[in-house]
Structure 1
Amino acid sequence: MSTVLIVFLLYLIGMVVAGIVTARLASKSLDDFILGGKKMLTPVIALSEKGTDMSAWLLIGLPGQAFKMGIGAIWAGIGVWVGSLFNWLVIATPLRRLTGKYNALTIPDYFESRFGDSSHLLRITASILIVFFFTLYVSAQVVGAGKILAATFDINQVVGMVIGLSIILFYTMMGGFIAETWTDFFQGLIMVTALILMCIVGVISIGGLGNVFSRISAVDPKAALLSAGESGTALYLGLILGGLAIGFGYAGQPHILMRYMALRSEKEVKKAMIIAMTWTTFAVAGAIFLGFLAIPFLRGEIADPEHITLAFAAKILPGWLVGLVLAAATAAMMSTVDSQLLVTTSAITEDIYRKLINPDATQKLLVRLARIFTVVVAIIAFFLGLRAERLVYWLVLYAWGGLAASFGPPLILSLLWKGTTKYGVFAGMVVGAITIVVWYNVPILKNFLYELIPGFFLSLIATWLVSLFTAAEQRRTK
């Protein structure tokens, strides 16, 4: 355990150093704090986009799903890969071009500028949705970090939550987007390295690649089936649609979209896409294969599938590599939490305070306020995790879907269709959010179909129809 602790502490120290080194760079302006002045290196932005995207799902959730379902978990991986590729091919270039044209620092800022919304309807609506969903999301991730540290080092879960959140809060508050992207870059490297190493050692431990399927099938014959053992066309299609539906979420995630906005220019999109998609291929395939490999080693020993990554590492790796895997699992959470904190802070500082309350605020004041709001949001998220863990968990299950349905269709249409109106965007955001909440809480609907699918398409229809009916009104107001 001492070796594991040493490696993990070195990782945490590295995150603190990143915050100290980048603090001065982030202090120049709000643009520097929120988007790094759009001067970050392309490879750093590319890996930061993936680190921000994956969260603990990559190291904890996806391997656990593969351990439980077998190779059928590949559908979730395909959904992630396709959704990520769609964002890079369809969203990244026009979003970078238009946000640069309007000098927009945030998604609410973009919507207001794109449609000349002097009423601030879009900015206020989008900001409320961002603050609501992301505060809950941060809370759940912090609880997850507390559980991992508590289980690994035999400490109280609250102590684990405090340690994890304190490190994230320090480097995000001090270095802003610059610290966040650089730490995400290294965290992304740690994650993919840990996954590849575990897969290689796992294959060697199982007796070579040729023995993988036979060993797994001997333990669970259904694990080697793409249908995950489900029977019937409806169940099989449900499995596929449920996995692929994850991909719909990418176009509506502000913490991911900010990475495209932060590129130096739209010319950098292709290079960043190649780097990001290469990482995605190895990381997602590695996570699924890891869970698959763990079946003959841990099936029957582990009650909670989401514990298999660290349990498998402890079984097949030396202590210092177990420390690396622990750092990778923690990095997966940190690389998402820091981004969500910054997006939430940006919505409060840029979209509400500067644009609606104090347009003449100095850059020094705005950066100071951004740091203060980062602390405030983190504290609220922490106490939500302490006081309302079940409620937060219940809400965060559809936070991804809520963001996807609220922002995805309006954003896509605003970038690709000139007929989109501000009223259409408003309708899409509201219909998407309401559909997710209602669908999730009606058992007969939830059991029928993943709520993201109806939420996304109803939001798309609402944005399109309302835009058609309000086109004349928008022309008159202009």
Structure 2
Amino acid sequence: MGASYETMVTFVIYIVAMVAIGLIAYFATKNFSDYILGGRRLGSVVTALSAGASDMSGWLLMGLPGAIYFAGISESWIAIGLLIGAYLNWLFVAGRLRVHTEHTNNALTLPDYFTGRFEDESRLLRIFSSLVILLFFTIYCASGIVAGARLFESTFGLGYETAIWVSAAATVSYVLIGGFLAISWTDTVQAAMMLFALLLTPLFVVLSIGNWDVAMQAIEQVNPANFDMTRGLSFVAIISLLGWGLGYFGQPHILVRFMAADSVKTIPAARRIGMTWMFLCLAGSVCVGFFGIAYFAQNPGLAGPVTENNERVFIELTKILFNPWIAGIVLSAILAAVMSTLSCQLLVCSSALTEDIYKAFLRKHASQRELVWVGRIMVLVVALVAIGIAYNPDSKVLGLVSYAWAGFGASFGPVILLSVIWKRMTRNGALVGMIVGAVTVVVWKEFIGLGLYEIIPGFLFAALSIVGVSLMGAAPSASIVQRFEKSEQEYQDARA
């Protein structure tokens, strides 16, 4: 069954608006720095909301509410871990990375930053980090296209293959045209939509049930264990859920937002805005799933789709409770969550191919105009590869998506964190740390397990490797140390 006329019109207006923003950004894009980093001129609001929106994909509106609906409040540990990790990332990395990348030959990408930060003439850091980005993000992109396709499929009754192309085209169009500025501006709109949806929906659910007390009694009658924070969880399981927060230190699509801020002085305000947005969205998401338990307990005749797939709890509540026009806006928030994450992943892949491979190894003296157009072509190439993977929604490769957060967190996280706070860190330490982090994630997941999320041993072993190898080798050159000290001093002066 397709969507109502009102919902369809709302979706079309939303997509057209996003493409229009892309066209405006097209005329503001003058060079490759604009296309990849927005010319480093994002203000605090756009920096904060684009970082948040690019982080929170469809998981925020489908996965988390579904998990809470199925197992109760105990599934909220992951939200707590993410809040802690995001705050520490803003606090220790954001401002320093903004300064360090500017002092490191105005680095536009993470591989570019690694190469300059450690004066890596061998360019091994650039090659390895680019390969990690391309591998994980292409798979990530495929999962995003599948999520968007499922939304179009269930909302409009489209065939899966048609829905794939519609989902991909909606996102690729504005990335292709406007680049980073388009993504950042659309992310700001999308973040506002996600917040609106996640604050409004649980409020309407509670009002439809009666009041807070009635809702809580209904949840308890279904199963008192819904209120138990440790329900079915061992200590290792809780640590594993909290450990998701470690991933923030190494996520390229989030870190690039810090690099694009107009000034290090923008970061404190951006941190406050970003963390407030994140807290409200996660709290709203948890409440949707939690109060959804009460709603469908009172209305069992409407619970069929949610019983079949608990991740549909947000979609079904929206369809039931809201006027079709409002429902269209709220459901567009799911598309916004998918598009905001997918778009920045496409651009990070494009920048790795263009800046870190094409320019670095093939066309060192390429013009700015040439690089922008190569960047656009690379967006299209990565999107087509991701679409090819997504054509089989049951493909086992999509199971590897669970590696991506841990893979980035363990291979890049300790390198990024230590590179901006420890001047004694060396090139060999960074390279060994990346390799150890990536290998540990795969080996732990496949052969060890022990119920512990692989990012925790991966992050720990990578950090120990960086420190050990750096201390065993020769000290960094005087120029590396001087540049680090200058960057740190500028950061401290900006905070004063």
Q: 1:388 to 1:68 in 2, by over 3 A?
A: closer
SS in 2 for 1:471: coil
SS in 2 for 1:463: helix
* Deviations 1:281-325 (CA, angstroms, capped at 9, x unpaired): 110000011110111233663222211110121122221222122
Q: In structure 1, what is the equivalent of residue 248 of structure 2? A: 250
Question: Are 1:75 and 1:239, in contact at CA under 8 Å, matched by a contact in 2?
Answer: no
Distance 1:192 1:50 in 2: 11
SS in 1 for 2:56: helix
Q: In structure 2, what is the equivalent of residue 434 of structure 1? A: 439
Distance 1:216 1:319 in 2: 28
Q: In structure 1, what is the equivalent of residue 404 of structure 2? A: 399
Q: In structure 2, what is the equivalent of residue 19 of structure 1? A: 22
Which structure 2 segments of 5+ residues have no match?
Answer: 298-302, 481-496
Question: Are 2:241 and 2:453, in contact at CA under 8 Å, matched by a contact in 1?
Answer: no
Q: 1:77 to 1:418 in 2, by over 3 A?
A: same
- Residue 73 of structure 1 and its aligned partner are, at CA, apart by 2.1
- Residue 388 of structure 1 and its aligned partner are, at CA, apart by 7.0
- The correspondence of residues 136-155 of structure 1 with structure 2, limited to 5 A, is 136-155=139-158
Distance 2:122 2:478 in 1: 15
Q: 1:319 aligns with which of 304, 316, 324?
A: 324
Distance 1:282 1:78 in 2: 12
Q: In structure 1, what is the equivalent of residue 131 of structure 2? A: 128
Q: In structure 2, what is the equivalent of residue 368 of structure 1? A: 373
- Residue 236 of structure 1 and its aligned partner are, at CA, apart by 3.3
- Residue 18 of structure 1 and its aligned partner are, at CA, apart by 1.1
Q: In structure 2, what is the equivalent of residue 346 of structure 1? A: 351
TM-score by length of 1: 0.95
Q: In structure 2, what is the equivalent of residue 420 of structure 1? A: 425
Residue identity opposite 1:237 in structure 2: F
* Deviations 1:362-405 (CA, angstroms, capped at 9, x unpaired): 00100010000000000000001114742232111111110100
Q: In structure 1, what is the equivalent of residue 485 of structure 2? A: none
Residue identity opposite 1:407 in structure 2: F
Residue 271 (str. 1) matches residue 269 (str. 2): yes
Residue identity opposite 2:85 in structure 1: G
Distance 2:82 2:190 in 1: 19
Q: 1:171 to 1:476 in 2, by over 3 A?
A: closer
Moved more, 376-385 or 447-456: 447-456
Question: Are 1:40 and 1:263, in contact at CA under 8 Å, matched by a contact in 2?
Answer: yes
- Residue 121 of structure 1 and its aligned partner are, at CA, apart by 0.9
* Deviations 1:407-464 (CA, angstroms, capped at 9, x unpaired): 001111111111111111111111111111122222xx33521111111111111111
Residue identity opposite 1:459 in structure 2: A
SS in 1 for 2:391: helix
Residue identity opposite 1:238 in structure 2: V
SS in 2 for 1:448: coil
Residue 464 (str. 1) matches residue 467 (str. 2): yes
Distance 1:396 1:312 in 2: 28
- Residue 170 of structure 1 and its aligned partner are, at CA, apart by 0.7
SS in 2 for 1:24: helix
SS in 1 for 2:474: helix
SS in 2 for 1:105: coil
Q: In structure 2, what is the equivalent of residue 92 of structure 1? A: 94
Q: In structure 1, what is the equivalent of residue 210 of structure 2? A: 207
Q: In structure 1, what is the equivalent of residue 294 of structure 2? A: 296
Q: In structure 2, what is the equivalent of residue 61 of structure 1? A: 63
Q: In structure 1, what is the equivalent of residue 226 of structure 2? A: 223
Residue identity opposite 1:73 in structure 2: E
Residue identity opposite 1:101 in structure 2: H
Percent sequence identity is 39
Q: 2:110 aligns with which of 107, 129, 133?
A: 107
Q: 1:125 to 1:292 in 2, by over 3 A?
A: same
Q: 1:322 to 1:447 in 2, by over 3 A?
A: farther
Distance 1:245 1:327 in 2: 31
Residue identity opposite 1:280 in structure 2: M
Residue 331 (str. 1) matches residue 329 (str. 2): no
Residue identity opposite 2:374 in structure 1: L
Distance 2:209 2:331 in 1: 22
Distance 1:281 1:143 in 2: 27
SS in 2 for 1:263: coil
* Deviations 1:76-106 (CA, angstroms, capped at 9, x unpaired): 1111111110011000111001111120101
Distance 2:347 2:101 in 1: 18
Distance 1:13 1:298 in 2: 35
Q: In structure 2, what is the equivalent of residue 390 of structure 1? A: 395
Distance 1:441 1:321 in 2: 45
Distance 2:449 2:123 in 1: 34
- Residue 475 of structure 1 and its aligned partner are, at CA, apart by 4.7
Question: Are 1:255 and 1:343, in contact at CA under 8 Å, matched by a contact in 2?
Answer: yes
Q: In structure 2, what is the equivalent of residue 284 of structure 1? A: 282
Residue identity opposite 2:60 in structure 1: L
- Residue 211 of structure 1 and its aligned partner are, at CA, apart by 2.1
Q: 1:79 aligns with which of 78, 81, 84?
A: 81
Residue identity opposite 2:77 in structure 1: W
Q: 1:401 to 1:153 in 2, by over 3 A?
A: same
- Residue 71 of structure 1 and its aligned partner are, at CA, apart by 1.1
Residue 31 (str. 1) matches residue 33 (str. 2): yes
Question: How many equivalent pairs are there?
Answer: 469
Q: Which ranges of 4 or more aligned residues in structure 1 deviate by more than 6 Å?
A: none
Question: Are 1:385 and 1:392, in contact at CA under 8 Å, matched by a contact in 2?
Answer: no
Residue identity opposite 2:36 in structure 1: I
Moved more, 294-303 or 204-213: 294-303
Q: 1:47 aligns with which of 49, 53, 57?
A: 49
Residue identity opposite 1:397 in structure 2: S
- Residue 270 of structure 1 and its aligned partner are, at CA, apart by 0.5
* Deviations 1:92-146 (CA, angstroms, capped at 9, x unpaired): 1110011111201011111111111111011111000001100000001101111
* Root mean square deviation of aligned Cα: 1.5
Residue identity opposite 1:435 in structure 2: T
Distance 2:113 2:250 in 1: 14
